[in-house]
A and B are shown apart, each in its own frame.
Chain A
Amino acid sequence: MPPSFKWDSLKRWETLLAVVLAVVVIFNISQSSVFLRVDNLVNLFMLHIEKIIVVLIMTLIIINGEIDLSVASVMGLGACVVANLYERGVSMEAAILVGLGVGALCGIINGFWVAYVRLPSLAVTLAGLIAYHGIAEMLVEDRSIGNFPDWFNQLGQKALIGPLPLSLVIFFILFIIFAAVLHFSAFGRYVFVIGNNREAARYSGVRVRQVKMMLYIMSGVIASLAGILFAARLGAVRASTAEGFELDIITVVLLGGVSIFGGKGTLAGVGLSIMLVLCLRNGMNLLSITGNTQSTVIGVLLIFSVLIPNLTQDFQGFWNRRRMIAK
């Protein structure tokens, strides 16, 4: 290939995602005239808004070379703490603050074991997944707590700025903040450097433990916030709130081109992958494909997102060898 030929820019993951996204959007438009209407687009986001808020922080954690499987349990725990306190007569505002504090505490616990004791994050957050869910069960047992104040329920449902509800506003603000932090700040560079090579980063004077701790605390707080927003949208809290969300969240991050081994990924790619998954689900809804088949399709997409680049690489290697032999 002559060097002037710009194949590399086409081969970038984000480009591929954008092309696939365009195909899906065109398909959706052809299937339904209401697809591009603002309320449908808002609705598109709102159906999975809590997950995609957590996707943002999960992106940073995976780029950092770690993983947080406990986010869904922290979401549930945050919502359950708020519900439990409110039921006991604590004011809603104070309950929300405590809920966020509990989220931060979960993050500190995860971060302590991962950053300072250097345990594998997969094992630590797997234990967290079970334990935080257990605490949520202790607080709410097998009941469902509802009857929140009106302003709280409206927080999750009513449009705040123009057609945008609060959680969507929070998502966009967080997206901009995280994009700025990850790609244009020293902290963001540290996240990448540690993800590439933890030891090299440590010898270069990067405060590895603080960075990891910060990420896990942020993850706890944001997951708890997302859980509380989920409670506001549903109007009721159960112990099983948000159960199983961690797999969807990690899927979206990895589909966005973030390497599971850390050190590689962009928030733009993750943004595209969020759009792709949302539009794909919406398109499948238009075709009346059920939730289970939708998960199958997302699962296939996840595996293919890594498999296809690998196979093309193999094929290119094979082709190049063939040409060499022919010469």
Chain B
Amino acid sequence: MYRIRHYIRPEQIREFSLIFIIMLAVLFFGTQIDGYYSARTFNRIAASVAIITVLAAGQTLVILTRNIDLSIGSIVGFASYFAGQQLSANQDMHPLIAVGIAIGFGALLGSVNGLLVVYGRVPSIIVTLGTLAIYRGVLVDYAQAKTITTDMMPTWLVDLPRVNLFTVGEIEIRVMVGVAVLVVIAFQLCLTYLLLGRRLYAIGSNPDAARVAGLPARRIVLLAYILCGALAGLGGFMFLVRFGTITVSAGVGLELSAVAAAVVGGVNIFGGAGTMFGALFGAVVIGTLEQSLLRMPNVSEFVRDALLGLFILLAVASDAVILQQLRSLWARWAREARETPAAHSEKESGHAS
């Protein structure tokens, strides 16, 4: 048993438990809903999870540094509206430029948040509560009550949600899902192996120590906000692709879903702990519950939010209670291994042979 702690950390057990929960949920819904195990179910859940995953990835970067970004719902709305407007004005714009516009616009709004937090020394919750209202208000004035509709869009964009990267049997891996998975993997690699990623954790676990150690904390937090805004911009473009019709209230409330996905995925709301895969699993759990409860025959659609809230609470509570237990168990194993080095090395050599 001692050996386990060399390979697995308590936090990883918590992430595995999410996979277990997803499997349990799928098994449960399979007995309740006719034809649940179908490619259609998978595609539907995957499409709704993709956007939340991208947003939760950005949110995770910010939460890791012990900050929060409550404005991403408005950034998604503004970026999707702006990109849609540019596309309808220039029909032959290159798709990559369109994506770039959305991401760049999101990054711009994110950098405003970051500058205020870092150089204005305003608490992040105040800044992003303010910009949540400001970005939305400016969008409403900017849009002049006009709506972006599908028939204003070039045809490639309208067809994009149905384009498959590849298909496994009947399961279709759509472009949007591919983008979401790519984002998660890329940022997970950054967090694990790049200096920037390790510094995000360092700042989140102890801002003062990070500053004393000479980390450029201000620039890194600013960068986290810019990346979060950029990912919200990407999420906005995916929103535009998925729905085609963008009103001024596009993306309202997405900030709460993103925070919820990150928190369910084990990202510590006080910073310094959490992974991209955790955020992905969190988004999948929430997406699976949401989409499946929607199709439960005996459950009214109105129960959904009540169960979702309960689930988030349980996830946070399990963080505090179970993770604490696991950590102390790990610590005890480490202590015992130290006190009986002979027995431990014997075990290890025995294991090796």
Contacts and interface: CB of A to CB of B under 8 A. Distances in A.
Interface stretch (A114-122, A152-160, A170-178, A189-197): A114-122
Given A239-B302, A296-B138, A303-B122, 10 more contacts: A138-B306, A295-B136, A296-B134, A296-B137, A302-B126, A302-B133, A303-B120, A303-B126, A306-B120, A306-B126
Contacts of A129: 256, 309
Contacts of A17: none
Interface in B235-268: 256, 259-260, 263
A189 B141 CA distance: 45
B97 to A, nearest CB: 30
22 contacts: A113-B316, A122-B125, A126-B263, A127-B260, A127-B313, A130-B256, A130-B309, A131-B305, A131-B310, A135-B306, A138-B303, A138-B306, A141-B300, A239-B302, A260-B125, A261-B123, A293-B137, A293-B140, A295-B137, A298-B133, A306-B123, A310-B122
A16 interface: no
A161 interface: no
Interface residues of B, number: 43
B256 A250 contact: no
A134 B120 contact: no
Nearest to B112: A303
A30 interface: no
B141 A251 contact: no
Overall SS of chain A's interface: helix
Nearest to A261: B123
Contacts, number: 139
Interface residues of A, number: 45
Nearest to A118: B320
A255 to B, nearest CB: 10
B313 A128 contact: yes
Interface in B302-353: 302-310, 312-313, 316-317, 319-321
A133 B121 CA distance: 34
Contacts of B269: 120, 122-123
B127 interface: yes
A124 interface: yes
Interface in A292-320: 292-296, 298-300, 302-303, 306-307, 310-311
A251 B129 contact: yes
B304 A303 contact: no
Given A131-B310, A134-B306, A254 B126 contact: yes
Nearest to A109: B313
Contacts of B95: none
Contacts of A120: 269-270, 316
B109 interface: no
A299 B302 contact: no
Contacts of A117: 317, 320-321
A131 B120 CA distance: 35
Contacts of A128: 309, 313
A137 B122 contact: no
A48 to B, nearest CB: 15
A21 B68 CA distance: 31
Contacts of B316: 113, 119-120, 123-124, 127
Given A119-B316, A299-B131, A299-B134, A306 B306 contact: no
A245 interface: no
B30 interface: no
B260 A303 contact: no
A247 interface: yes
Contact of A133 (B68, B131, B141, B305): B305
Interface string A224-260: 0000000000000001000000010011001000001
Interface in A237-290: 239, 247, 250-251, 254, 260-261, 290
A129 B320 CA distance: 20
Contacts of A134: 302-309
Contacts of B309: 127-134
A306 B122 contact: yes
A311 B134 contact: no
B215 interface: no
B132 interface: yes
B66 to A, nearest CB: 11
A101 B307 CA distance: 21
A311 B116 CA distance: 11
B130 interface: yes
A137 B305 contact: yes
Nearest to B268: A120
B315 to A, nearest CB: 8
A117 to B, nearest CB: 6
A131 B133 contact: no
Nearest to A302: B130
Contacts of B313: 113, 124, 127-128, 131
A129 B270 CA distance: 19
Contacts of A127: 260, 309-310, 312-313, 316
A132 B308 CA distance: 10
Contacts of B68: 122
B133 A130 contact: no
B266 to A, nearest CB: 12
Contact of B312 (A118, A130, A251, A303): A130
Interface in B277-301: 300
A119 B312 CA distance: 12
A239 B303 CA distance: 12
Contacts of A311: 120
B256 A303 contact: no
Contacts of A124: 313, 316
A123 B122 contact: no
B312 A310 contact: no
Nearest to A110: B313
Which residue, A117, A129, A290, A296, has most C-beta atoms of chain B within 10 A? A296
